[in-house]
Amino acid sequence: MQPCPYRKIRPLGEGSMGDVHLCVDVQQRRLVVVKWLRAELHEGSQAAVRFRREAELMAGANFPGVIKVEEWGLDEFGRTWMAMEFVDGLMPSAVVGPGDCWSVHRLLAGVGQGLDDLHGLGVVHRDLKPENVLLRSSVDGWEPVIIDLGIAKWLAQETATASGSVFGTPHYMSPEQCRDTKHVGPATDRYAVAVIIFELLAGRRPFEGRTIPELLRQHLESPVPELQIPKRVRTGAIRDTAAKATYPSPNLDAFMRKAMAKEPRLRFGSGREMASEFERAAKADGLWEILTLRT
């Protein structure tokens, strides 16, 4: 066992299963993000074995819309670690304003393709939310990147599966995930993406329970509300509190009902399909280039 070659700069997060640090690669003079398992999770534990299997899968992959896992190892204390690229970007809400269908589609196409790539490897994210998608600069503006792979999901899901409890972020959890984590799959990630794009389009989340049990019940039982995209709202503009009118969006509402169907088998079958159907629905509603028409 050798020491982790990266030097810690500052902590980025800590949980029951491990911790995350922003680190520097001294030799190459660049920033990386490193996640460590807790020392109690010894090398032969089920959690550590699963972590290494996922790390090996991801270390051999290079997907444009997914954070790159560069390497993993065991340090001198027997702790398993995984190093990932550092992504410098903004959260979607800082760039995409309500009703900006063109930008929402761009995000959906990138995130959807990234999920399709992950699912092709047999990896399910399980905790997709706006904080786990960053928009970084690219040659043609920006591109979305799925981040936060590793410890938080794979290990907490292992514990939750054993106990039959739920795991995820309640506002973005699929109905099947609200029941337990034993039957989550690719459709679970696509449900979370649908909630994210609903929030970006409407400026609010579809379900807002006052308590976690109420919120979970809404995901399980409540119909998907209409989007009610507000008029005269633009990226970077001050919201006009006097403007109550909304744009009619019957096709996008139908899209959201399918994307957030209670039964996983009734949702879209891939991220690529979601992006294609979203574009068709937005154009059918006349909202594809809505921002250019606003005053």
pLDDT, averaged across the chain: 83
Query: Which residues participate in catalysis according to the annotation?
Result: 127
Question: How many Å separate Cα 255 from the centre of its chain?
Answer: 19
How is residue 280 written in tokens?
């068709």
Burial status of residue 195 (CB atoms within 10 A of its CB: 0-12, 13-18, 19 or more): buried
Contact 256, 193 (CB under 8 A): no
Give me the percent of the chain exceeding a pLDDT of 70: 81
| Bridge partners, residue 81, by sequence | 36, 73
CATH fold label, 92-293: Transferase(Phosphotransferase); domain 1 (1.10.510)
154-206 pLDDT tens trace: 444 444 444 444 445 789 999 999 887 667 899 999 999 999 999 999 999 99
**104 is written with which tokens?**
């929402």
Note whether 125 and 146 are within 8 A (CB): yes
What is the pTM for the complete model shown?
Answer: 0.83
- 40 has pLDDT over 50: yes
Q: Which residues of 158-178 are buried (b: 16+ CB within 10 A; e: fewer)?
A: bebeeeeebbbbbbbbbbbbb
Q: Which of the four CATH numbers 3.90.650.10, 3.60.21.10, 3.30.200.20, 1.20.1250.20 does domain 7-85 have?
A: 3.30.200.20
CA 216, CA 163: separation in Å to the nearest integer? 18
For the chain, what is the largest distance between any 2 Cα atoms, rounded to a whole number of angstroms?
64
Does pLDDT of 293 surpass 50? no
- Name which of 25-29, 106-110, 139-143, 146-150 the model is least confident about: 146-150
Q: Domain map of the chain by residue range?
A: 7-85, 92-293
CB 151 within 8 A of CB 17: yes
| One-letter amino acid for residue 113 of the chain | Q
Rounded CA separation 206/225 (Å): 6
Position 136: which residue type?
R
Most confident of 1-15, 51-65, 120-134, 212-226: 212-226
| Per-residue pLDDT, 102 | 94
